[in-house]
């Protein structure tokens, strides 16, 4: 496959970046999007140029490191697919592909396509944890959990914290991510001790980090590589109302 790439290049957080155009040939349709970038980078290095910086780790759709906006859609916008699991056969020979970093105030660009997502870590630190006692591990089956709750918690726990929700939201809102974490723990007995304080603290942190807020377009749900449903945002809203009414 022969492709024209338009890639965001930015030296560091202080510089202003620009879209650079690269012609790339000999791409095999079975390559992943990241392998295509690897090939591009090898050629750039051979030409003595600076390779394109991009985030990646597991390359199997579970770590949440890869984070590219491809042709205006986070992770390319293919249902249930992270950038690392996106194959070049989804594109056509001769295509022009535009690649940009996540764009959000709370995700500043570090270099090229790499953004700083520690704002998500700080939201987790604000409340995305449970208290656990030390001592012998309790029997996993000792705590009964209704099947629908276990299923809902499991669905929410599939969130890999990639940030595609905030990147794709027209408002730069991270509510799908925060909701997945809040909903996951609010469905389980282990999450009960911090239940009210968790949602209030995480939402306050989310606001403080400079994320936007939901106007119910559901763009995040369509772009989320783990198909997290916006029903979790409704759950987070219920948790917020509950904690507020209880005066927590």
- Could you list the residues that contact ligand SF4 (CB under 6 A)? 159-165, 176-177, 180, 224-226, 228
Residues 71-130 that bind ligand FES (CB under 6 A): 82-84
Site string for other proteins, 28-67 (x = CB under 8 A): ----------------------------------------
Q: Is 233 in the site for other proteins (CB under 8 A)?
A: yes
Beta strand 109-111 with 18-24 is unpaired
Residue entry with tokens 């609010």: 186
d(CA 64, CA 163): 8
172: helix, coil or strand? Answer: coil
- According to CB under 8 A, which one of 37, 88, 106, 180 is a site residue for other proteins? 106
Binding range to ligand FES, per CB under 6 A, among 63-71, 122-130, 151-159, 184-192 = 63-71
Alpha helices in 112-230 (DSSP H): 118-127, 147-157, 164-168, 175-186, 195-208, 219-223
Whether residue 197 contacts residue 154, with contact meaning beta carbons closer than 8 Å, is answered with no
Residue 65 interacts with which of ligand SF4, ligand FES, ligand HEM, none, CB < 5 to 8 Å by class:
ligand FES
- Least gap, CB of 99 to ligand FES (angstroms): 15
Residue 78 interacts with which of ligand FES, ligand SF4, other proteins, none, CB < 5 to 8 Å by class:
none
- According to CB under 8 A, which one of 55, 100, 112, 155 is a site residue for other proteins? 100
- From residue 210, alpha-carbon distances to 8, 15, 17, 218 in Å are 23, 21, 22, 20
- From residue 25, alpha-carbon distances to 40, 52, 95, 122, 124 in Å are 9, 17, 11, 42, 42
Of 245, 234, 93, whose CA–CA distance to 176 is shortest?
234
4: helix, coil or strand? Answer: strand
Q: Is 158 in the site for ligand FES (CB under 6 A)?
A: no
- For the record, the structure tokens of 207 come out as 């606001």
Residue 68 interacts with which of ligand HEM, other proteins, ligand SF4, none, CB < 5 to 8 Å by class:
none
Question: Which residues bind to other proteins, rule: CB under 8 A?
Answer: 6, 8, 19, 69, 71-73, 77, 98, 100, 103-106, 168, 170-173, 200, 203-204, 206-207, 210-219, 221-223, 230-231, 233-238, 240-241, 244, 247
């Amino acid at each position: 496959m022969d492709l024209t790439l338009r890639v965001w290049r930015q030296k560091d957080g202080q510089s202003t970046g620009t879209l650079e155009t690269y012609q790339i040939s000999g791409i095999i349709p079975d390559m992943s999007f990241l392998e295509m970038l690897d090939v591009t980078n090898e050629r750039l290095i051979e030409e003595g140029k600076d390779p394109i910086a991009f985030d990646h780790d597991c390359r199997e759709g579970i770590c949440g490191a890869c984070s590219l906006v491809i042709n205006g859609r986070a992770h390319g916008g293919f249902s249930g697919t992270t950038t690392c699991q996106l194959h070049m056969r989804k594109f056509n020979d001769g295509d022009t592909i535009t690649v940009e970093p996540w764009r959000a105030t709370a995700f500043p660009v570090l270099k090229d396509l790499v953004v700083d997502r520690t704002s998500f870590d700080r939201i987790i630190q604000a409340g995305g944890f449970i208290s656990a006692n030390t001592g012998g591990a309790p029997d996993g089956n000792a705590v009964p959990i209704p099947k629908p709750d276990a299923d809902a918690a499991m669905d929410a726990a599939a969130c890999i914290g990639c940030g595609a929700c905030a990147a794709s939201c027209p408002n730069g809102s991270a509510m799908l991510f925060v909701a997945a974490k809040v909903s996951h723990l609010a469905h389980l007995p282990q999450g009960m001790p911090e239940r009210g304080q968790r949602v209030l603290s995480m939402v306050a942190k989310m606001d403080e980090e400079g994320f936007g807020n939901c106007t119910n377009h559901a763009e995040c749900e369509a772009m989320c590589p783990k198909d997290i449903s916006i029903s979790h945002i409704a759950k987070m809203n219920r948790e917020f109302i509950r904690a507020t009414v209880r005066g927590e």
